[in-house]
Structure 1
Amino acid sequence: MRFLVVCDKQETVFGKRQASGACPYCGGIVQAMDVESRYSFCGLPLWFIPRRKYICTVCARRLEVCLG
């Protein structure tokens, strides 16, 4: 049995812009951030995951997008 422990996770923001819509909690402006997460094991880079995160600029909540 093998057990992999991720030693390090780094997130880099490489783009920000205003998203359409408003925050459902406070009605503030929603900001879309393009983030790249890099995972490494004992200093060796394993993989990276680019994704988009949505955050309210007023209440600082991370918002989830429901498709469907």
Structure 2
Amino acid sequence: MCLVFVCDEDERVIARHPAPGACPYCGGMVQAMDVESQWRFCFLPLYFRTKRRFYCNFCARRLIVQ
């Protein structure tokens, strides 16, 4: 008997927006990205979530807003 779980997470960028402020590491421009993540189990979509992430355009670091 063989039991195989096929789980997958797919992320895609929906939109990009300029964000106010500057990067604390290099002083570059900050960009906000809306990312949709989708969890699948055996090719069936189970969970959708949209997140907003912030990145620096110059040094490409992910920035965390507190």
CA 1:54–1:13 in structure 2 vs 1: closer, same or farther (change >3 Å)? same
TM-score (norm 1): 0.85
How far is the alpha carbon of 1:6 from its aligned partner?
6.7
State the partner residue of 2:40.
40
State the partner residue of 1:9.
9
Is the contact between residue 6 and residue 39 of structure 1 (CA under 8 Å) also seen in structure 2?
A: no
**2:63 counterpart of 1:59:** no
TM-score (norm 2): 0.87
How far is the alpha carbon of 1:7 from its aligned partner?
1.3
State the partner residue of 2:20.
20
Is the contact between residue 37 and residue 48 of structure 1 (CA under 8 Å) also seen in structure 2?
A: yes
Give the distance between the partners of 1:7 and 1:61, measured in 2 at CA. 28
Q: Percent identity?
A: 58
Code of the residue aligned with 1:44 in structure 2: it is L
Is the contact between residue 31 and residue 55 of structure 1 (CA under 8 Å) also seen in structure 2?
A: yes
Q: How many residues align?
A: 62
CA 1:34–1:46 in structure 2 vs 1: closer, same or farther (change >3 Å)? same
The structure with the larger Rg is 2
Structure 2 gap ranges (5+): none
